Structure 1
Amino acid sequence: MQFTESWLKSLVNTDLDTQALGEKLTMAGLEVEELEPLTPEFSGVVVGLVVKKDKHPDADRLSVCQVQVGEGDVRQIVCGAPNVAEGLKVPCALPGAVLPGGFNIKPTKMRGVESGGMLCSGKELGIPSDVDGLHILDTSLPVGGNVRDLLGLNEMKFTLKMTPNRADCLSVWGVAREVAALTGATLNPPAFTPVAAAIGDTLPVTVENTDLCGRFAGRVIRGVNNAVKTPQWMVERLEGAGQRSLSPLVDISNYVMLELGRPSHVFDLDKVQGGLTVRWAREGEQLTLLNEMTVTLNPRFGVICDAQGPEALAGIMGGNHTAVNEATTNIFVEAAFWHPDAIVGRAREFNFSSDASHRFERGVDFQSIPEHLERITSLILEICGGQAGPVQDQVLSLPLRQPVTLRHARAESVIGMPFTTEQIQTVFRQLGFVFGLEGQGADLRYVVTPPSYRFDIEIEEDLIEEVIRVVGYDSLPLRAPLGKLSMLPAPESKLSRHAIRRQVAAMGYQEVVSYSFTPEQWETDFNANTDPVRLLNPIASHLSVMRSTLLGSLTGVLKHNLGHRVDRLRVFEVARVFEKNAKVGNGPQTVAGFMQTWKLGGLAYGLADQLQWGASNNRLLDFFDIKGDVEQLLAGKKVEFKAFEANTPHPALHPGRSAQVLVNNRVVGFVGELHPKLAHAQDLPLAPMVFELLLDGLNTRKLPAYTDISKQPAVVRDLAFVVDQQVRAADLKKALTDAKEGNQGWVKSVILFDEFVPKDEGKGLKANEKSLAFRLTLQASDRSLTDADIEPLLNHMIELAGQRCAARLR
């Protein structure tokens, strides 16, 4: 929201200077984003009168001008502007002048002709101008006068950064109301003098859908002249607000929108066929807008139609067909209340926004429509002439302004300072609120009916904000907050997410943070998820769903780094994933129908170790490297790795180089190599190793407990078994560790130290067999073990191995 200081002060009688006014608005919640002069700084530019113009002797495009810059002071200036002519008054920069950007003017020669200054264009001075060439000044300006002072270019321009709830301040009048409420200054409202109908002409208007339009007003004006020039005062105010002057009728509509916050539209009456109808659009209808964009509509959009079809997009933008031009003589001026719910988000569906939609979707005053229409009419008749017909005002379905109750004690509690009843009543009076008092003492309440232009006043907290905003945040007492702090116990057996992050980082992985939004194709590729959680309003078209796995994001990080010549990577992420689950209900940290699960995802790529001189064979990562990392993360837990079933493989993993991760017989994740087809689809030179674990499987740990250390010698035995090649070493190891008979807690460790798979039959093995050798460490705490102690235990182990895995001693 932009406006000039003089425009604001014409509506409110405040004595505050520019800086104080800006600070007052900012502290009240209307942040002044920029406070700057209308044009960049320049000096030494005066009004010059071109008294004579001759052709340059040595240049076709240059003119030698005699310019009067003061009483009896005529300067010779060489000019290349195409519009320079005798009798024009133009800005003239004299020697010593400094133009925007630090450009210094000095006497010079141009193609051998002396030039004692420079005639300036609007662009050179930072003045908005559509003229190709010199900026033409009004003939009434005195020759030699300071251009900056005469054009009011020293005036300050305010740019407010408005919050979405303050639609009432999207106008200069709205800001003036705020200044009056904050300072107690008196207001100078614009004149809303009713314009008597000089003709009886009307235009039939039918509103079919009251959920689209709650009030529709308009009037016919005949005999206007749209070819006249917009008054300079209006042009200057429009330019100060960032608007370009187009034509008188359009300028008046824009001016009233900026002045009062009332978007309106002017139809060329001679182009309207029959009457107007306000309704929801029909599927497939098309409309060419004022910005020359042709849009295809559907029933979500409101339209204003004539007998031929849509002529305006309701509350957003008018149509090109009925737009006014210089030849327009008869018009219909429309001012309506469009329900915010019927306008919000519609313009963005066509990838643009308009001043009208920006206001209507936040809420525009619905009570002042007739007064604002009179304001528009009076300006049109004053500037363009014509005769006005009667006002047609249809009141259909206006919002109900429900009273809001503020408890005096609640206001003091939330704000943190005492108030008198008179203080709060004064605030409401200055804001223009209608209110009454109920109760007394500790039960005192204010029942406030919000005005029609304040759509943001709905609950008690809104009124509390208004009280402290107007009283002033700087009036809050400076008190240190009081509160009781207690140290809560943190169980040692529970690991925080930060501790898990540190643990993974200590293993050489770097943490990454990526969006929870992901392309839908990634969900299909990496998790076979055909029904992901979809976003209603994605931040980017390709990030349209919520991720249910971290693999896609980690692979994206890998691709980014490979593009920057990083050929060895270890990354991890701790984040939530999102899935649909009808069993989940609403709770403090849950949303009904959606499962939000914390997971740890990791990815490793490239060489197993950094390049170094002492290693002759720099091998690539394999499944067992990443499996070892997962085992280290789960150290101290009962961990098992189990291959995926042949009929239910993981869609993102290599079927022969992947496994489920189980803790205490519960699946907590997976580990493996990315599937070759995905590596190829993602254009990866090598398939990375990945893992993903539930945080629930990681955030608990077994606390250390003291046990006696045996002073007896340990006994080591090696057992080599022949098994089928399909038998897993983990299954055979489990059979050995499950041996109970003869075991008094003597088995300290069972380690696989050798695997032999023959290429063909030989050495006592068949082609489909392999040899697995385990080293057993046995130790008792009370005595040295003898063969008589050990043999029954070993025999039981061998027996269990045969029963469970069909294993035989080699």
Structure 2
Amino acid sequence: MQFPESWLREFCNPALSTQELADTLTMAGLEVEELAPVAPPFTKIVVGEIKEAVQHPDADRLRVCQVDVGQGALLNIVCGAPNARVGIKVPCAMVGAELPAGDDGKPFLIKVGKLRGVESYGMLCSARELKLSEDHGGLLELPADAPLGQNIRDYLKLDDTLFTLKLTPNLAHCLSVYGVARELSALTGAPLAQPQFPKAATSIADRVPVIISAPDLCGRFSGRVIRNVNTRAATPQWMVDRLARCGQRSVSPLVDISNYVMFEFGRPSHIFDLDKIHGGLDVRWGAAGEQLKLLNGNTVTLDEKVGVIADERAVESLAGIMGGDATAVSDDTRHIYVEAAFWWPEAVAGRSRRYNFSTDAGHRFERGVDPQLTVEHIERITQLIVEICGTPETACAPIDDQQVNLPAPNPVRMRVARAAKVIGMPLTLAQCVDALKRLGLPVQQGEGVLTVQPPSFRFDLRLEEDLIEEVARVVGYNNLPTTPPLAPITPKLRLESHRSSFAVRRELAALGYQETINFSFVEEHWEKELAGNDTPIKLLNPIASQLSVMRSSLLGSLLQVLKFNLDRKAARVRVFELGRVFLRDASVKNTDTTVEGFHQPMRVAGLAYGAPDALQWGRKDKAVDFYDAKGDVEALLAPLRPTFESATHPALHPGRCARVLLAGQAIGYVGELHPQWRQSWDLPTAPMLFELELDAVLQRQVPAFRAVAKRQLVERDIAVVVAERVTHDEVMRAIRGSLPGELLRSAVLFDVFRPQPQRAGEAMAAGAIAQGEKSLAIRLTLGSDAEALTDAQIDAAVQSVLQALTQQTAARLR
């Protein structure tokens, strides 16, 4: 909200400088976001009148003017403005004047000069040259009663400051100059000028019939007929200037008056052309399919959730937001209907955003406007209309005031002891009473308890904490004592067997992945296709129509990132995300960190696409494969050793997908994207993906002391033939279970051999490997800390391994 300081001081003028006034408002919660001068510095510019204007003898676009600046002698000034003519009063820069600085930052000094051979003793100025506006259409014309020779800064009141306030939604009562002045009076103790609302003389009994069909939309509707007004009258310059300094341009006298009272008292109103209203008005909810052309030129389609004012033929106004074009006042308007109403905040909130625009009226009504002063504010509007647009035939009708559903705020209690505890400083009952009364709040005292009946303009006072905040604001946040906390602070230490999520991020970054952060809400078809979730958790109020459900997998978000990068010609993408997923789980109860019926675990997921490494001469160019992703998962979980088993997942290739197990527990999946989804996402090659439970990834082994082997280890290589279906994990499980204690230090598969396809009619050699079999070469490392192994012990150990392999995998020695 923006307004000039001079207007504020007309209502409340404390003995404070501009900066002190701004600091006072800011420390009371009315943040002053910016202070800006109305006009930049300039000197020796006065009111002048053109007495004579003749054509320059040597220039078609210049005129030689004789200008009276109240010094007796006329000044000879050459001017090129198109509106330079006899009789107008304009700003005149005298010789020696300094105009506002230009683009180079230096002020422009006026000297005696010659233009095409004619001497010029000054300069006639436009609004743009004085940096008052961007209008450069000609000289700034001043009213005819402007006193000659008066400093233009004094005449136009340019030594003023614009205040820009950044108000929170609960401060709706401060969305006017008078509202801010009321707060300032409470904070400083300076007297507040009480506004007067003289009743207009009524000479006609005209009335527009009004029906309030929706009391939940409109609680009070007041209106008055005024006949024979002059809508072609000029808006007074003082009103134009004040509106401009509030950020509002002048439109027409009636519109300017309505806007002026809105900025003055926070009362949005609307003025109808009476002759364009057909019959009476009906205040109701809209109907589906109804259309309304607004004052801004937009045509909107209405529904049952939007309030309207309609006559017997059509909708004429969007309730509390903007009037309609059909009943708008114009230069031909003679008779008007002035309306001021109380619209329920809940009935106006959010309606403007549905049509992609906002208005000052809607901004105020959705926060709450005083329902008790509609009649008084219509009297104020009437007063200005009569003064500015009145004619000898102007006639006012009595105000028609209908009250059907006004808010009835409940009393709010505040315990003084509670206020002192929350604010953090000792407070007395008298201090609290004084603070609340200064704010204009009626207070009843009890035993350590104050009861306040919120006034009609305070929609924000509902809880005890609201009153405590008001006391704190008036006492002054800057007066609160600085008290260090007394409670002991105990650091929350992480177990040594757990690493932090930042360590996981650093590990993945070291593997070449880049972190992404995505929305937790995703497209519904992702859940069905990539997670096999036919009943996802739906959002009641999604931020976008396609982001309508909560994710149960991170893979869709990573695929979206991949697609975004591929569309921008990225050749290699490696990304990961640590994020929360949302699953239905009836066993979850409500706590401080959980929501009943929903499990919200953290997961870590990664995606690799393109070459395993950046382009280089030392490796052949090939696409990333399953084993690259599997290796990254093993590196992420190290020093823990995961195992992998064949599995299926809705998002992954049926034959290139593995379940990741840690200590026998499944913690996630790794694999290649399913060909069906690769085709639907239009990907040139398939990416590799993995998704793991973060809790499992955070686990790590606590380092344990182990002595270095005192005796030399023994290595033995064996080669066994097994069926193709036998997995590496089955072979290693059989070997580890065959030897006791620490005799087996390691078992490593170092070679796999499969036979060539046999030709037709060719006999298979004795002992050869048949089709459907494979040969595995395994190196066994044996050792003992107690003694050196003998050949007999070594042979016995190898035989135990072979026997276990034969029994559990049907292997035979090659």
TM-score, structure 1 as length reference? 0.91
My pick for the range that moved more, 743-752 or 513-522, is: 513-522
Q: CA deviation at 1:716?
A: 2.5
Residue in 1 that maps onto 2:360: 355
Which sits farther off after the overlay, 372-381 or 268-277?
A: 372-381
Q: Partner amino acid for 1:722?
A: V
2:327 is equivalent to residue 322 of structure 1: yes
Structure 1 residues 108 and 726 mapped into 2: Cα distance closer, same or farther (>3 Å)?
A: farther
Q: Equivalences for 1:510-529 in 2 at 5 Å?
A: 510-518=514-522, 526-527=530-531
- 2:195 corresponds to: 190
2:430 corresponds to which of 422, 443, 449? 422
Alignment of 1:774 onto 2:783: no
CA shift at 1:86, angstroms?
Answer: 1.6
State yes or no: 1:411 paired with 2:419: yes
Deviates more, 1:563-572 or 1:26-35: 563-572
SS of residue matched to 2:488: coil
Distance 1:489 1:244, change over 3 A: closer
* Cα drift, residue 574 of structure 1: 2.1
Partner of 1:291: 296
TM-superposed CA distance for 1:634, in Å, is: 1.9
Aligned to 2:728: 729
3-state secondary structure, aligned to 1:189: coil
**For structure 1, which segment, 253-262 or 4-13, has the greater mean C-alpha deviation from structure 2 after superposition?**
4-13
How much has 1:30 moved relative to structure 2?
0.3
Cα separation, 1, equivalents of 2:801 and 2:34: 83
Structure 2 CA distance for aligned equivalents of residues 668 and 152 of structure 1 = 74
The farther-off stretch of 505-514 and 273-282 is: 505-514
Q: Quick one: which amino acid aligns to residue 396 of structure 1?
A: V
Residue of structure 2 equivalent to 1:152: 157
TM-aligned CA deviation for residue 314 of structure 1: 0.6
Does structure 2 conserve the Cα–Cα contact (< 8 Å) formed by 1:658 and 1:670?
yes
Quick one: structure 1 residues 13 and 93, their matched pair in 2 at CA, closer, same or farther if it must change by over 3 Å? closer
State the Cα deviation string for residues 36-57 of structure 1 (Å, max 9, x = none): 1212333343323222223345
- Deviation at residue 73 of structure 1 after TM alignment: 4.3
| Whole-angstrom distance in 1 between the partners of 2:440 and 2:501 | 52
* 1:272 counterpart residue number: 277
Residue 99 of structure 1: aligned partner: 100
> 1:79 corresponds to which residue?
79
For 2:752, the equivalent position in structure 1 comes to 755
Report the counterpart of residue 387 of structure 1 in structure 2: 395
| Offset at residue 800 of structure 1 (A) | 4.7
CA shift for structure 1 position 526: 4.8
Pairing of 1:156-171 with structure 2 (within 5 A): 156-171=161-176
Is 2:626 the partner of 1:629? no
Q: CA deviation at 1:659?
A: 2.1
Which residue number in structure 2 is paired with residue 474 of structure 1? 478
Question: Residue 809 of structure 1 aligns to which amino acid in structure 2?
Answer: L
Change (3 A) 1:266 1:562: same
- In structure 2, the residue matched to 1:694 is 693
CA 1:208–1:616 in structure 2 vs 1: closer, same or farther (change >3 Å)?
Answer: closer
Offset at 1:283?
0.7
Structure 2 residue matching 1:136: 3-state secondary structure: coil
Deviations 1:129-178 (A, max 9, x none): 87832221111223333222211111111111111110000011110110
Q: Provide the rounded CA distance (Å) in 2 between the counterparts of 1:747 and 1:571.
A: 39
Question: Residue deviations 1:598-631, cap 9 Å, x none?
Answer: 1122334554445667x36465543222212211
TM superposition shift of 1:446 = 0.9
TM-superposed deviation, 1:808:
3.6
Distance of 1:691 and 1:215 partners within structure 2: 62
Aligned 8 A contact 2:316 2:327 in 1? yes
Q: What displacement does 1:400 show?
A: 2.1
Specify the SS of the correspondent of 2:601.
Answer: strand
What is the 5 A alignment of 1:237-256? 237-256=242-261
Could you tell me which residue of structure 2 aligns to residue 301 of structure 1?
306
1:82-127 Cα distance to aligned partner (Å, 9 max, x none): 3222211122334543235345255555566555544322233233
3-state DSSP of counterpart to 1:10:
helix
Contact 1:67–1:77 (Cα < 8 Å) also in 2: yes
Instruction: Determine if contact 2:634/2:641 at 8 Å carries over to the other structure.
Output: no
Residue identity matched to 1:776 = L
Deviates more, 1:263-272 or 1:59-68: 59-68
What is the aligned partner in structure 1 of residue 212 from structure 2?
Answer: 207
| Structure 2 residue 696 is matched with structure 1 residue 665 | no
- Native 8 Å contact 1:760 1:766 kept in 2: no
Any residues of structure 2 matched to 1:488-507 within 5 Å, and which? 488=492, 490-507=494-511
Query: Which sections of structure 2, spanning at least 5 residues, go unmatched?
Result: 759-763
Given that 1:381 and 1:387 are in contact with CA atoms closer than 8 Å, whether structure 2 keeps it comes out as no
Count of residues in Structure 1 that have an aligned counterpart in Structure 2: 799
* Helix, strand or coil at the partner of 2:704: coil
Q: Which residue of 1 aligns with 2:761?
A: none
* Alignment partners' CA distance in 2, 1:475 and 1:674: 63
Structure 1: any 5+ residue segments left out of the alignment? Answer: none
Q: Is the contact made by 2:63 and 2:80 (CA closer than 8 Å) also made in structure 1?
A: yes
Check 1:682–1:124 CA distance in 2 against 1; reply closer, same or farther (3 A cut): farther
RMSD over aligned Cα, in angstroms? 3.0
Determine the structure 2 residue equivalent to 1:551.
555
Deviation at 1:471, TM superposition (A): 0.9
Post-superposition offset of 1:342:
0.8
Relative to structure 1, the CA distance from residue 506 to residue 42 in structure 2 (aligned partners, 3 Å threshold; closer, same or farther) is same
Conserved 8 A contact 2:99-2:130? no
Give, in angstroms, the shift of residue 511 of structure 1.
3.9
Aligned partner letter, 1:132: G
Q: 1:266 to 1:699 in 2, by over 3 A?
A: same
Q: In the alignment, which residue of structure 2 is the partner of 1:578?
A: 582
* Mean CA deviation greater in 585-594 or 70-79: 70-79
Determine helix, strand or coil for the equivalent of 1:193: coil
Matched-pair contact (CA < 8 Å) for 2:219–2:403: yes
Which amino acid in 1 is paired with 2:752? E
The structure-2 alpha-carbon separation of the partners of 1:28 and 1:750, relative to structure 1 and needing over 3 Å to count, comes to same
Matches of 1:114 and 1:798 in 2, distance apart?
117
Using the size of structure 2 for normalisation, the TM-score is: 0.90
**In the alignment, what sits opposite 1:65?**
65
User: Structure 1 residues 131 and 525, CA, compared in 2 at 3 Å: closer, same or farther?
Assistant: farther
Distance apart, 1:336 and its partner CA = 1.1
CA contact 1:100–1:126 (8 Å) conserved in 2: no
> Residues of 2 paired with 1:272 and 1:126: CA distance?
43
3-state SS, counterpart of residue 371 of structure 2: coil
1:33 corresponds to: 33
Structure 1 residues 112 and 164: alpha-carbon distance in aligned structure 2, compared to 1, 3 A threshold: same
Find the aligned partners of 2:708 and 2:295 in 1 and give their Cα distance.
89
Q: Secondary structure at the match of 2:129?
A: helix
Please state whether the residue corresponding to 1:628 is helix, strand or coil: helix
* Residue identity matched to 1:757: R
Q: Displacement of 1:660 after TM fit? A: 2.1
Q: Alpha-carbon deviations, 1:352-379, whole Å to 9, x = none?
A: 1111110111111112222222222222
Residue from 228, 238, 243 that aligns with 1:233: 238
Q: 1:437 to 1:732 in 2, by over 3 A?
A: same
Range moving further from structure 2, 409-418 or 668-677: 668-677
Q: Which residue of 1 aligns with 2:453?
A: 449
Does the 8 A contact of 2:521 with 2:548 survive in 1? Answer: yes
Residues 77, 118 of structure 1: 8 Å contact kept: yes
Q: Look up the SS of the partner of 2:68 in the other structure.
A: strand
Kept in 2, the 8 Å contact 1:222–1:387? The answer is: yes
Q: Contact conserved, 2:579 with 2:604, CA < 8 A, in 1?
A: yes
The answer (yes or no) to whether the contact 2:101–2:108 under 8 Å persists in 1 is no
Task: Give the distance between the partners of 2:784 and 2:55, measured in 1 at CA.
Answer: 117
In structure 2, relative to structure 1, the CA distance for the partners of 1:746 and 1:650 (3 Å cut) is farther
Give the distance between the partners of 2:638 and 2:619, measured in 1 at CA.
Answer: 31
SS in 2 for 1:122: coil
Please state how far the C-alpha of 1:213 moved relative to its aligned partner.
1.1
Over the matched positions of the two proteins, sequence identity in percent amounts to 52
Give the direction of change, closer, same or farther, for the CA distance of 1:104–1:564 in structure 2 (3 Å limit): farther
Q: Shift in Å at residue 238 of structure 1? A: 1.2
